[in-house]
Structure 1
């Protein structure tokens, strides 16, 4: 297998591992689990509240029925009294019998009302405890989520600073390739400079006969150096342009005075 093929395979494996790791992170994200648990508790609380509403409705229905029976109970008493006033003992007896039967029904209804009231009280207590528990869980959930998000952000920042990321290898390779290209280009520039200077390459921008001028200038410089050496050996004046002082640089390469 070629080196390019091996590099591509390695890159594909790295991408696959990165995507798999991200998928696992999403599956294991505790924030999602906390939200799911909170939603389940909220659903339970809503069920309890619906049951409480149903019990309250049933209690109200019993109370309305009791009020109707109470009104009838009182009306039967009034009818019995009216029958006696009219000398109708038979009608008075009938009214009292119905009132006695209604009284037993009211007692049974009152027991139902007491049972429904107790059930309502118990559900209200459960609803209050569950609501408090859900609210406490919500507060703790948000705190844990905030801590997890902060830790996750810190990990990502640390990985970015340390170069620990999915693009670390690519970044390192890119830097190495760039450095190699710069070094190659610098070497090539130096080599072409030497070739141009030596005349091995023709400078197409140079003036005609520039090579002769270059060689003559080099000869003149060598002759001037030889002259300065002879003067120094014979104990003559030091080379021009070597005076001291803040403005001494102005004397560099000054022409020698005419002897």
Structure 2
């Protein structure tokens, strides 16, 4: 196969593919049906024209037959009047008209045969058109049903392009919703655990704990006040007299105090490192 032949073949195949995609079977069937109806109308017009021509010949034949009868009368009258020459002329005209009548009868017979043939063709074509119309409507109904079924199948399986886009949109929405729910749950958990410090406050964890202790101390002091008021005029217990302390004991107390302060400061440093 040469280059030009291959190129022509490829072009024809491409055009055929485009036409197949653009073709609507229902429109093609309707167009074919209209073409067949046009052919039927052409056959009917041909039959009408043929019948008209045959009628004209029949009318001409009738006139010739009337002339033949007229020439017969003329020949009889001429014989009765001893005018043989006139009778001969009348008979000659009669013979001519008879020959024309025979020719017309032959033409009329041929036209009748053609008319009968065209009528048979018309009847056959009309039957084929009716059959095609029935098949056409059936095929159109099947095509529409198949098209509807395909659309429903695409909708159910989400294989269509639009349904795929909708499915992807739903998936993205679900993913974003799950992310926001997880983030909200994490923030709630961190907030409950106290991991987040109030950005509007200058207090740190130690300040908040000291504030809580101060609050607890205030509550205890108020509770003691209420107890004293409820106890009436009860005499307060005498304060114990301070015991005398030796110098050696005083040094031990100072040593203990120093160690307690060191331990307290160390614990504060450890808390600051951990916080």
Structure with max Cα Rg: 2
CA offsets, 1:216-249, max 9 Å, x none?
Answer: 9xx9xxxxxxxxxxxxxxxxxxxxxxxxxxxxxx
* Partner of residue 127, structure 1: 122
- The DSSP-based 3-state class of the residue aligned with 2:161 is coil
- Given candidates 134, 146, 157, the residue that maps to 1:139 is 134
- Given candidates 85, 90, 103, the residue that maps to 2:80 is 85
Gaps of 5+ in 1: 1-20, 204-210, 220-259
* Partner of residue 38, structure 2: 43
For the pair 1:95 / 2:94, whether they are aligned, the reply is no
For the pair 1:175 / 2:152, whether they are aligned, the reply is no
Q: Is the 8 A contact 1:62 1:109 kept in 2?
A: yes
CA distance in 2, matches of 1:23, 1:201: 72
- Given candidates 56, 68, 90, the residue that maps to 1:61 is 56
Residues 169-208 of structure 1 mapped to structure 2, 5 A cutoff: 169-194=164-189, 198=194, 200-201=197-198
Structure 1 residue 108, shift from structure 2 partner: 0.8
CA distance in 2, matches of 1:201, 1:195: 12
Structure 1 residue 123, shift from structure 2 partner: 0.9
* Partner of residue 118, structure 1: 113
* Partner of residue 25, structure 2: 30
- Given candidates 101, 112, 121, the residue that maps to 1:106 is 101
- The DSSP-based 3-state class of the residue aligned with 1:118 is helix
CA distance in 2, matches of 1:113, 1:23: 50
Structure 1 residue 86, shift from structure 2 partner: 3.3
CA distance in 1, matches of 2:62, 2:19: 64
Task: Tell me whether 102-111 or 188-197 shows the greater mean CA deviation.
Answer: 188-197
TM-score by length of 1: 0.63
CA distance in 2, matches of 1:141, 1:53: 29
* Partner of residue 156, structure 1: 151
CA distance in 1, matches of 2:54, 2:84: 39
Q: Is the 8 A contact 2:158 2:167 kept in 1?
A: no
Q: Is the 8 A contact 1:48 1:123 kept in 2?
A: yes
Task: Tell me whether 44-53 or 154-163 shows the greater mean CA deviation.
Answer: 44-53
CA RMSD of aligned residues (A): 2.9
CA distance in 2, matches of 1:45, 1:175: 58
Structure 1 residue 143, shift from structure 2 partner: 0.9
Structure 1 residue 91, shift from structure 2 partner: 1.8
Gap change, CA 1:45 and 1:201, over 3 Å in 2:
farther
Structure 1 residue 201, shift from structure 2 partner: 4.8
Structure 1 residue 132, shift from structure 2 partner: 0.7
CA offsets, 1:144-197, max 9 Å, x none?
Answer: 221121112111111111101011331122112211221233234435545665
CA distance in 2, matches of 1:79, 1:134: 58
Structure 1 residue 93, shift from structure 2 partner: 1.6
Number of residue pairs aligned between Structure 1 and Structure 2: 187
